[in-house]
Amino acid sequence: MIAIAERATAQVPTKLYTRLSQKEKSKKIMKWIRFRDRKLRGKFEFLKHQDELGLAITLGSAAGMILFAGLYIAGIIPAWACIVANGVLASILHEVEHDLIHNLYYKDNLKIQNFMFWTVWIFRGNTVSPWYRRMIHTLHHKVSGHKEDIEERLIGNGMKFGLKRFITMMDGNMSFLFQSHTLRREAPKFKRSEITRSSWPYLVIYFHLWYNFLFINLFYIGNELLGKPVEVPAWLDTVRHLLNISAVVYTIPNWIRQTSIQVVSSNMHYYGDVKGLHEQTQVLNRWFLFPLHLFCFNFGSTHGIHHFVVNQPFYLRQAVAPFVHPAMKRYGIRFNDFGSIFRGNRLGKEQALTAA
């Protein structure tokens, strides 16, 4: 059936596609996504249990992070294995949170849904609360590519290429400091007080662990290089040991996960000259992006699909991607436009950009 559909589409002259409006092209892409989605749901019975699948994935990923942390602490696996495993599992939890934001699991049972929200937030501490993210992500779909898009602009979308943007993509606190004054002026729904409230408690706990880990280890390295001029007290050795454990099992995996998705997301979304759904995203799926995609669950390759059909769980989005990508390319969605980062994510040629 897939082969027949692909052959039928391939027989249509390319020039006919160019005659379609952007709205018509978007509708065509949606049909391809929904067609493949229906086929998969009809073929695999277990996909009908969407609520239960979401809960099982949540609990399984959280349990997996605890398991790998325990294996590392017990000395059974090396630090790098724990970091990679927990980073991947945390990226799955991020996808679950994203689905929950769109009410794809237990929309009629808020107790279970909120339990899942708390779980994904606890195990991915370097984010604002998922309830605040629901607001800014819903807004993102309404105003993607425009000044009001709080979610994307907070991670660097639309900024000039350079050190400031690089730091914005790497560190959430610096991003907030760099962007908040601009967003207060240009995005009416941006409220600094709301982000501050939405950071408690887990984002605050995470950054305390993260920055103390970095600063203490920098101190130890500097002290060693200078011939140990400072005598380190025993209690500081204990603190450093505990921070290093928390770094391996929690803070480093989540920093890698968050940085990976922020680099990919801020560069796959267009900004400024976006006129509609068809122009909001590109597809990033080159092989050398694998290290980033490993820790953001293939986000650059599949998130564009989500912009066309939002009510699809993340695992089905992955499953339909090989089938849908040819249609997206045929109907004019850009692939691997790496030059966009040098244009401040503009669709067109480089313009006079503001340091947003």
Domain layout of the chain by residue ranges: 19-196+254-343
Distance CA 262, CA 264 (A): 5
From CA 49, how far away is CA 33, in angstroms rounded?
20
Q: How far apart are CA 1 and CA 40, in angstroms?
A: 12
Angstrom distance (rounded) from CA 48 to CA 43: 10
pLDDT given for residue 2 in this prediction: 40
How many Å apart are CA 148 and CA 138, to the nearest integer?
12
Contact between residue 132 and residue 198 where contact means Cβ atoms under 8 Å apart: yes
pLDDT computed for residue 7 by the predictor: 43
Phi/psi for 269 (5° steps) reads: -90, 140
Return the pLDDT at 298: 98
Q: pLDDT tens digits for the chain (356 residues)?
A: 444 344 434 334 445 677 899 999 999 999 999 999 999 999 999 999 999 999 999 999 999 999 999 999 999 999 999 999 999 999 999 999 999 999 999 999 999 999 999 999 999 999 999 999 999 999 999 999 999 999 999 999 999 999 999 999 999 889 999 999 999 999 999 999 999 999 999 999 999 999 999 999 999 999 999 999 999 999 999 999 999 999 999 999 999 999 999 999 999 999 999 999 999 999 999 999 999 999 999 999 999 999 999 999 999 999 999 999 999 999 999 999 999 999 999 999 655 444 34
